[in-house]
Chains A and B, each alone.
Chain A
C-alpha cells in the first residue's frame, strides 16, 4: 500500500503551546520521511526530515518522532508562534526508481496570538 495517512486535518493552538501532527504509513520500503511547510500562495518547502534508522530528530522548535515498528511518525512544534500558521504535509519517499514521494493530505495549523 502506498498511502500516507495524516491527522488532524486542522489544528488550532494557542501561542506558546505545542502543535502535534501525526502520520502513518504502510509500505516498509519507504526510507525517507520529510515534513513540508506551505504558506498560502507558495510552494511547499522542506521543514525537517528523518530516516528510519533514527527515532527522533530535532531542529530548533521542530521535532520528528519516528516509530518504525508502529509505522508512525509525528511532528511536534514547541512554543508555537503565529508565524507557524501554515499547512503541513508529511510524506514518505523511497530512493529506488526515481525517489518517488507519497504525501499526506495536509494539516492546516492556526496559532492564535
Chain B
C-alpha cells in the first residue's frame, strides 16, 4: 500500500515551458486535491476533484489545469510556466465515505521555474 505518490520529485523549467505533475493514490479515495506550498503562506488549494471525471477550482487556480480521468490519478498541468509558479506542490486524497476529514498527502514535487 503505497498511499499517495507524486511524480516527479524535482523539476526545473524555463519560463513558457509546459509540464504535467502526476498524483496517484491506491486507497480508493473519492476526493483528491492539489496544493502549493510557499514560505510563510501555508498550503493553498489549486484545484480539487470529488470523483472520477470531475474537477473544480480552489483558491489559486490561475495558470493551472487538472484532469481526473481515472479515480486513482489526478494530474496537474502547467501550460506556460511562470517564475511565480516556483513552489512545492502537494497532492492529497481523502476518504469521503469515512467522514473523518483526514487528508493523506504525497511527498511533494519541488518545481523551479527560471
Find chain B residues with CB under 8 A from A4 CB: 42
Find chain B residues with CB under 8 A from A83 CB: none
Q: Residue B103 contacts which of A2, A42, A46, A105 (CB distance < 8 angstroms)?
A: A46
Chain A: interface size category: 20 to 34
A32 and B56: CB pair below 8 A?
A: no
A89 with B42: in contact, given A46-B103, A49-B101, A99-B31 (CB under 8 Å)? Answer: yes
Interface size on B, residues (CB 8 A): 28
Question: Scoring B residues 77 to 93 as 1 if CB is less than 8 Å from chain A, else 0, what string do you get?
Answer: 00000000000001010
A106 with B94: in contact, given A32-B101, A98-B48 (CB under 8 Å)? Answer: no
A106 with B101: in contact, given A43-B106, A98-B48, A99-B31 (CB under 8 Å)? Answer: no
B43 and A44: CB pair below 8 A?
A: yes
B105 and A44: CB pair below 8 A?
A: yes
Complex A-B: 10 CB contacts under 8 Å? A6-B42, A41-B107, A43-B105, A43-B107, A45-B105, A49-B102, A93-B101, A102-B59, A103-B44, A106-B42
The 3 closest A-B pairs by CB, nearest first: A43-B105, A103-B42, A32-B101
